[in-house]
Amino acid sequence: MNPVTITIDGLAIPAQEGMTILQAAQANGLYIPNLCNHPDLDPAGLCRVCVVKIDDWKIAISCKQPVKEGMVVSTEDPEVQRVRKNTVELLVANHPMTCLTCERDGNCELQRVARYVGLEPTDLNRYRRSVRSLPMDRSNPFFEIDHAKCILCGICVRTCDEIQNINAIDFVKRGVASLIGTMGNKPIAESRCESCGECVVRCPTAALSPRHRVQPMREVKSICSYCGVGCGIRLGVRGDQIVGVQGDRENPVNGGSLCVKGRFGYHFINHPERLQKPLVRKDGELVEAEWDEALDLIAEKFSQHKGEQFAALASARITNEDNYLIQKFTRAVMGTNTIDHCARL
């Protein structure tokens, strides 16, 4: 890609041929309001909020317009301000505006854009009728869909298609009745959705939100323990409880993506019935023991059952290195090749 220089609001910035104006702006730390754009997805040009004026005459959407050497872009031209404000007014015309009790309050792209374009309550009077009244889809055990807060940006649809290759959701119905739904507009739990939550984390509003919502007080980086892939996670912690999991975008293994288990299956960590100590069978009953006692017992039993009396079943939840050690131990110490792995069953 050849380097080019463009000017945005009087600032000369470097870019690369093939970039869009929005990408060039973002790469240089400049904000152009947008709602349907996401760095993980192909530009769609749906929301029309990212309009700019090019070379003092042409209004264009910056997420679709490629940069050209010497291009002069204005994001603050009065015509641009009028067009994008009007677009945002239409987008929020039937929005619930329950920000104070909304789980995205303070972390909502719609709020951010509305603030940036200078939306005032009085601006909405000419469009605002009533809040869109549609039943929420609470069929999924991990997240819910609030159609009233959906701005039809299509990020969820493109995430499910471009990233997950599942295509569980799409736009259904037409015109003002349009909404995000499944094939036949059935509850999402009855669709082919795999509950990965990738659409939920990219939704710019609270239209898609996790069912379990507790604000963490701090984050701890870790590795998901469910399988051998080793996805990077950020654990949301409050007190001594884990209250949420996010994918770690800085981790090269998963780049922030997670499956349903890694993203939503964390409740076992704090579960009161979780085993905290080994159990040893005594007089037919399983009773809690200390680790030394349990390990001594295992070593004693192992020494009594070497060779073909012994079999090992390794686990997908441990590291490759630990699995290697198990097979080495089974073959070299226990003297048998009878070893298998749960991921193969």
Q: Point out which residues bind ligand SF4 (CB under 6 A).
A: 95-99, 102, 104-105, 108, 110-111, 149-156, 159-160, 164, 166, 168-169, 180, 193-199, 203-208
**Residues with Cβ within 8 Å of residue 269, at least 6 apart in sequence:** 242
Instruction: Tell me 143's DSSP state.
Output: E
Q: Which is nearer to ligand SF4, 102 or 231 (CB)?
A: 102
The nearest distance, CB 228 to ligand SF4, in angstroms, is 22
The nearest distance, CB 90 to ligand SF4, in angstroms, is 14
The nearest distance, CB 44 to ligand SF4, in angstroms, is 11
Lookup: tokens for 146: 């609030």
Q: What is the CA radius of gyration of the chain?
A: 27
251-280 burial code (b ≥16 CB/10 A, e <16): beebebbbbbbbbbebeeeeeeeeeeebeb
Q: Which is nearer to ligand SF4, 109 or 248 (CB)?
A: 109
- Three-class DSSP category at 7: strand
Closest C-alpha among 110, 24, 14, 20 to residue 61: 20
Q: Which is nearer to ligand SF4, 154 or 236 (CB)?
A: 154
Rounded to the nearest 10 degrees, the angle between the axes of helix 109-116 and helix 78-91 is 140
Q: Which is nearer to ligand SF4, 31 or 324 (CB)?
A: 31
CA distance 143 to 191: 14
Handedness of CA 231, 236, 241, 243 (dihedral sign): negative
The nearest distance, CB 35 to ligand SF4, in angstroms, is 8
Q: Which is nearer to ligand SF4, 20 or 205 (CB)?
A: 205
The nearest distance, CB 235 to ligand SF4, in angstroms, is 20
Neighbours of 85 (CB within 10 A): 20
The nearest distance, CB 171 to ligand SF4, in angstroms, is 8
Q: Which is nearer to ligand SF4, 143 or 314 (CB)?
A: 143
**Residues with Cβ within 8 Å of residue 167, at least 6 apart in sequence:** 160, 161, 192
Q: Which is nearer to ligand SF4, 204 or 216 (CB)?
A: 204
Give the phi and the psi of residue 343 in degrees, each rounded to 5.
-70, -15
The nearest distance, CB 312 to ligand SF4, in angstroms, is 35
The nearest distance, CB 149 to ligand SF4, in angstroms, is 4
CA-to-CA dists, residue 82 to 8, 50, 61, 108, 117, angstroms: 18, 12, 14, 22, 9
Q: Which is nearer to ligand SF4, 62 or 111 (CB)?
A: 111
